[in-house]
Structure 1
Amino acid sequence: MRTVRQLLEAKSPEVIAIRPEAPVIDAIRLMAERQVGALLVMDGPALAGILSERDYARKIVLQGRSSKDTPVRDIMTLTVVTVAPGDSIDRCMQLVTDRRIRHLPVLDDGAVVGVLSIGDLVKAVIELQRQDIDQLQRYIAG
């Protein structure tokens, strides 16, 4: 079974993040520019939270708040579900399914080393299934 470490090796090592005191409008612009659905909220090197499009829709749009005047810290999700480099893809899929989340920050000894999206996980599962199918077809044909 593939691990988080193996998935991260195939991705860009860049972690897209924003400061807790930044205005929400800056976070939304950054998400749009980078074509991502969530940003890590970093207080220096420490993970302070995560901000997703869902947070924005529920805590800014629906509550009639101002994106310019509201800091990220006021709407970010504080309880962040994380994984470690040695975790399996199966464990990650279970977490995103059970918790109904789309992004998993990866921590190694407390330091952020990457982020996996549900898209990364689905792609990995499909690749593993394709390999299994190929092996079975070779077995049957051989």
Structure 2
Amino acid sequence: MSLTVAQVLAAKSDGGRTVHTIGKDSTVLAALELMAEKGIGALVVIADDQIVGIVTERDYARKVELCARSAGTTRVDEIMTGKVRYVEPTQSADECMALMTEHRMRHLPVLDDGRLSGIVSIGDLLKQQIADQQFTIDQLEHYIQGAPSPVHLR
């Protein structure tokens, strides 16, 4: 059974509460500096308290660096992805993986009642999938050995 987005967020080190944003008029250089400082690969782009896009390291590589543009003078809204796909906390991790795979994305903002409440990355989902698989392996090993199954709190 797939976990929900809310459960994936809760498993993150900060409980999934931290979402880094940047203004659409900011420079790409400012976005890169913020991503480097926070150790993240994407920022939600905001204008007038509304989500207007998402900007990623990939956007920079493909739309600035490869086009010989300057990160110091190019604005975020010039390279961001304007059509933002998002998920809700009740959706499953499997749904997120399918959406990310289909649209070749690595980050999905999470909206709860229309309010930005988190962001899930492909890394978050893979980490959870690996943990689930390890749990299953442990359970099967105990079953095969005839040992009582250890109690795992999740």
Which residue matches 2:11? 10
Quick one: distance in 2 between partners of 1:122 and 1:44? 34
Question: For residue 8 of structure 2, what is the amino acid of its counterpart?
Answer: L
* SS in structure 1 at match of 2:18: coil
Aligned CA-pair RMSD: 1.2
| CA shift for structure 1 position 97 | 1.6
Q: How far is 1:32 from its partner?
A: 1.0
Cα distance in 2 for residues equivalent to 1:137 and 1:23: 53
- The answer for the alignment partner of 1:126 in structure 2 is 130
| 1:44–1:14 Cα change, 3 Å | farther
Aligned to 1:38: 42
Between the aligned residues of both structures, percent identity stands at 49
Q: Hey, which bits of structure 1, 4+ residues long, moved more than 6 A?
A: none
More deviation, 15-24/66-75: 66-75
1:22 is aligned to: 26
Question: 1:95 is aligned with what amino acid?
Answer: L
Consecutive unaligned residues in structure 2, runs of 5 or more: 147-154
In 2, are the aligned partners of 1:103 and 1:116 still within 8 Å (CA)? Answer: yes
- Return the TM-score normalized by structure 1: 0.94
How does 1:96-107 map onto structure 2 within 5 Å? 96-107=100-111
Deviation (angstroms), 1:44: 3.6
Asked whether the 8 Å contact 1:46–1:111 carries over to 2, the reply is no
Q: For 2:66, give the aligned amino acid.
A: L
Q: Which has the larger radius of gyration?
A: 2
Whole-angstrom CA distance in 2 between matches of 1:99 and 1:135: 35
Q: Normalising to structure 2: TM-score of the pair?
A: 0.87
Aligned residues: 142
